[in-house]
Amino acid sequence: MSSPEALTVLLQRWSDGNKDALDQLMPVVYGQLRKLAAHSLRGERPGHTLHATELVHEAYLKLIDSEVPWQNRVHFYAVAATMLRRILIDHARAKHRGKRGAGAEKVSLDDAVLFSPQVSAEVVDLDDALKRLAVNDERKSQVVEMTFFGGMTHEEIAAVMKLSPKTVQRELRVAKAWLHRELSADGDTST
């Protein structure tokens, strides 16, 4: 029952209100959700209060309450990646409320997604920058989110967004440059 087609059928049945489909679906997708959560938490310091299992469970609760008309399994994982990102950002904001920017060290976009003690404040800055990017170009923001927070390949993103993999690569390259400039400007107080 774990073929892409079978998952799509279960997702569509769940979207149509079939709760039995949800019961069948979750054991099948749990492993992949766990991988997404682990990807989102890679680089986390040992003993951190948020673990992959807790992250998956919180995302699961949000997913079952969502009323998304699921297109297919890739769409489901893209939405799950968005939820994981929001949970991580909410966690970082709660831990660093009032400390934002105090002695923060500039990091690259790739380093910022490694959620560790030194860069968790920067992840909040990255989230703020992604929100600004979404206002200017929502597609680029979604590509970044699915890549870095969802661990999705260019081909998977292309399938969800109905783009070519080359377009996804191009969008990601431009988005990373824009975010780098934004994040550098946020920390630059000399201008």
Model confidence pLDDT, tens digit, residues 56-105: 888 888 888 888 888 888 888 888 888 887 887 787 777 765 444 444 54
Q: What is the mean pLDDT of the chain?
A: 78
Q: What residue type is 111 in one-letter code? A: D
Q: Which of 184, 50, 53 shows the shortest CA–CA distance to 117?
A: 50
Q: Which amino acid is at 173?
A: R
Pairs from 114-117 (Cβ < 8 Å, separation ≥ 24): 114/42, 114/43, 115/40, 115/41, 115/42, 115/43, 115/44, 115/88, 116/43, 116/44, 116/45, 117/45
Whether the Cβ atoms of residue 157 and residue 168 lie closer than 8 Å to each other: yes
Number of domain units in the chain:
1
pTM of this prediction?
A: 0.62
What contacts 185, CB < 8 A, 6 or more positions away? 191
Mean pLDDT along residues 23-35 = 86
Q: How confident is the model at residue 137 (pLDDT cuts 50, 70, 90)?
A: very high
CA distances from 12 to 17, 68, 190 (A): 9, 10, 53
Taking CA 163 as the corner, what is the angle to CA 162 and CA 164, rounded to the nearest 5 degrees?
Answer: 135
The pLDDT of residue 114 is above 60:
no
Interatomic CA distance for residues 112 and 180, integer angstroms: 10
Over 80: is that where the pLDDT of 121 sits? no
pLDDT higher than 60, residue 117:
no
> Alpha helices, DSSP H only, in 97-164?
109-112, 120-136, 138-144, 154-161
- Per the structure, the complete domain to which residue 35 belongs is given by 4-187
**What's the pLDDT at 139?**
92
**96 near 120, Cβ under 8 Å?**
yes
| Nearest partner of 179 among 120, 119, 137, judged by Cα | 137
